[in-house]
Amino acid sequence: MAIFSRTEPEEVVFGFQDGEGQEDPTRLARVVIQGIPIINTYIPQGFALDSPKYVYKLEWFQRLKRYFSRNLSANKPAIWCGDMNVAPDPLDVHHPEKHLKHVCFHEEARQAYQDTVSWGFVDVFRHHYPRKQQFTFWDYRRPDAIEANRGWRIDHMMVTPSLLPHAQTIKVDVNPRKAEQPSDHTILWADFSV
Task: Give the pLDDT means over successive 10-residue stretches in the chain (194 positions).
Answer: 86 93 90 97 98 97 98 98 98 97 98 98 98 94 88 98 97 91 92 92
Q: Which domain holds residue 162?
A: 11-192
**pLDDT of the residue at 50:** 98
User: What was the pLDDT predicted at 178?
Assistant: 87
Does residue 5 sit within a domain? no
In 3D space, the residue among 110, 142, 137 whose CA is nearest the CA of residue 46 turns out to be 110
Predicted local distance difference test score (pLDDT) of residue 141:
82
CATH number of domain containing 17: 3.60.10.10
Q: Would you give the distance in Å from CA 136 to the centre of its chain?
A: 10
Residue 87 CA to residue 95 CA, distance in Å, equals 12
3-state secondary structure of 93: strand
The total number of structural domains in the chain stands at 1
Helical (H) or strand (E) element with 12: strand 11-14
30 part of a folded domain: yes
- Report the amino acid identity of residue 8: E
What predicted TM-score, i.e. pTM, was given to this entire model? 0.95
